[in-house]
Structure 1
Amino acid sequence: MINTKVLVADDDPNVCEIIRLFFSKQQIDLVVANDGKQALELVEKEIPDLIVLDVMMPHMDGFEACREIRKKWDTPIIMLTAKDEEFDRVLGLELGADDYVTKPFSPRELVARIRAILRRTQPREKQEEDTAKVLTFDRLMIDIEKREVLAADEKISFRPKEFDLLVHMAKSPGTVFSREQLLEQIWGFDYFGDARTIDVHVKKIRQRLQVLPYECIHTVWGIGYKFGVDEA
């Protein structure tokens, strides 16, 4: 974690101080914002490797800050949410957050999640070799090397994990994947989130591919999802 810079946006000075003390032992550079607006300014100025956003902040809450950050940056985001507030967790994921931690939390858990996310998002020197660099289906083309998707002659933008999930399933049309398998294969075995993460990302993929006259990812009730372009 040497030379890792993390931006933490939280209006509670006690929380920030506890995080600062623990981060210093982990060789993590900490940048602190007191509200969402300041977080936006510091993202552009400091260019952090990861952002931690508290949901409840003055001037601009964590949800709005997450939404604004995602308009310009793909920096990994962890949301700090109230305990047992499922709505907050789901909304954060839908706005583009990569993970969430419920309050109260231990600094050790937060660092573990930061480590896990950075391992997943850091570029790999070499991905497993693929025989096909471009996957082509009826009115759908996925260029794995360029990370581009063309649907019904329209270029569609995907967030990194959405693209990875689509490619993983498209490589094996007809194969049924459980949510747990997809979490492990795309997010990694040490991911702390739950299966709802897959549902949120599948929903986003379906929305982005609405230009097609068919659905690509099909729900297999009680199990998970599969890819196929020739199904009703």
Structure 2
Amino acid sequence: MRPQKILIVDDEPGIIKMLETILRKEGYTVIGSAATGQEALDQIARHHYDLIVLDVMLPDTDGFQLCRSIREHTAVPILFLTARSGDLDKLTGLGIGGDDYITKPFNPLEVAARIHVQFRRQEQYQTAAAASPEVYRFGSLVIDKKAAQLWVNGAEITCPAKEFELLVFMADNPNQIFTAGQLYERVWGYDSNGDEKTVAIHIMRLRKKIEQDARQPALIVTLRGIGYKFVPPRAGQGEPG
């Protein structure tokens, strides 16, 4: 099994050194770093990384714009680091394809723990995928679990890792109701601690990709005050597109 590769993007050498030290102690041996957005894109073009730690404030760009560019190349998990604590910044980061969010100042052990959870969840997902149907076909919606591909109306749709994992989890458990907190715990792998907004943003992004009308969703349904459920279309029903 090849070692997991992590890229740290931050313009503060002290933060990079601190995270590298902690991550190496946790057993991660392949760690790349970049101090600018362009350096990060160059690294991503040359290497396959399994997870990216991304600072929002960079000298040549902001992390949000860089995240959009990264998503053109890879769907691996992106963990934002930022000194901004407002909900708007958090929702912006998650809305453009980020998977998790940590506010500075932070405990480096917390970053290591969240990275570890991301990788553990991926391993659990792969194990579960091997024990269930590899491909789901819901009308024009096709979910290929083994290839980690999403198809709608015959076109492949880019889907970041955590969005895809959330969709697969719901497809694996059709017609079951889950609260936002339960989805966060089952898909992200740790207690919600008020992070229901993270789930809501990922649900919103998925709906834009798979629903015929994201404003009136028929596949991922909200039960107001309760939670969400995935409702597979019955034969003869309208298909997503």
Segment of structure 1 superposing worse, 61-70 or 40-49: 40-49
Matched-pair identity in %: 37
Segment of structure 1 superposing worse, 92-101 or 82-91: 82-91
Alignment of 1:75-94 (within 5 A): 75-94=76-95
Alignment of 1:1-232 (within 5 A): 3-29=3-29, 30-122=31-123, 124-125=126-127, 127=129, 129-130=131-132, 132-137=133-138, 139-145=140-146, 147-152=148-153, 154-189=155-190, 194-211=195-212, 215-228=218-231, 229=233
Deviation at 1:31, TM superposition (A): 2.2
Give ranges in structure 1 of 5+ residues lacking alignment.
none
Amino acid at match of 2:218: E
Deviation at 1:116, TM superposition (A): 0.9
Residue-by-residue CA offset, 1:20-58 (whole Å, 9 max, x unaligned): 333343343432211111111112224333211110111
Distance across 2 between alignment mates of 1:54 and 1:80: 5
Paired residues of 1:178 and 1:224 also in contact (CA < 8 A)? yes
TM-score norm. by structure 1 comes to 0.82
Paired residues of 1:151 and 1:209 also in contact (CA < 8 A)? yes
Distance across 1 between alignment mates of 2:192 and 2:114: 7
1:150/1:40 CA distance change after superposition, 3 Å:
closer
Amino acid at match of 1:17: K
Distance across 2 between alignment mates of 1:142 and 1:218: 18
1:191/1:37 CA distance change after superposition, 3 Å:
farther
Q: How many residues align?
A: 230
Amino acid at match of 2:131: E
1:153/1:74 CA distance change after superposition, 3 Å:
closer
Paired residues of 1:7 and 1:52 also in contact (CA < 8 A)? yes
Cα RMSD of the aligned pairs, angstroms, is 3.1
Helix, strand or coil at the partner of 2:74:
coil
Paired residues of 2:10 and 2:16 also in contact (CA < 8 A)? yes
Residue-by-residue CA offset, 1:81-103 (whole Å, 9 max, x unaligned): 12522222111111211111110
